[in-house]
Amino acid sequence: MGEPEQSDVIVHCECPFESWPASVTVITGRDDRFFTCDFQRRLAMDRLGAEATGDAGHLVALSGRPAELTAAFVDAAHS
């Protein structure tokens, strides 16, 4: 079998926005088993000068709380 062939279409598409947002948003994974929430918050402040927000579960991208994660993204986009 092997791995599926990856599409390279993403590298041929232009980014639809003209600039990055003026503010940095960091969404933490409260139940992350590797990086504790305190560590994520400290790292966000130390390296980005940003306060971490949100309250996603373990593995933010695969959060068991998609509604809350989506709301955090929407809130960040409108702030």
Side chain identity at 33, as an amino acid letter? Answer: R
* 34 falls within a domain: yes
* 60 falls within a domain: yes
Structural domain for 32, as ranges: 19-77
Q: What is the pLDDT of residues 29-77, one digit of tens each?
A: 777 778 888 998 999 999 999 988 766 666 666 766 777 778 888 888 7
Position 55 scores a pLDDT of: 66
Position 67 scores a pLDDT of: 79
* 1 falls within a domain: no
Number of folded domains in the chain?
A: 1
What residue has token string 């079998």? 1
Say how far apart CA 71 and CA 52 lie, in whole Å: 15
Tokens representing 47?
């390296």
Is the pLDDT assigned to residue 28 strictly greater than 90? no
* 8 falls within a domain: no
* 38 falls within a domain: yes
Is-contact 41 55, C-beta < 8 A? no
**Which residue, among 76, 59, 66, has the nearest Cα to 20 in the 3D structure?**
76
Is-contact 69 60, C-beta < 8 A? yes
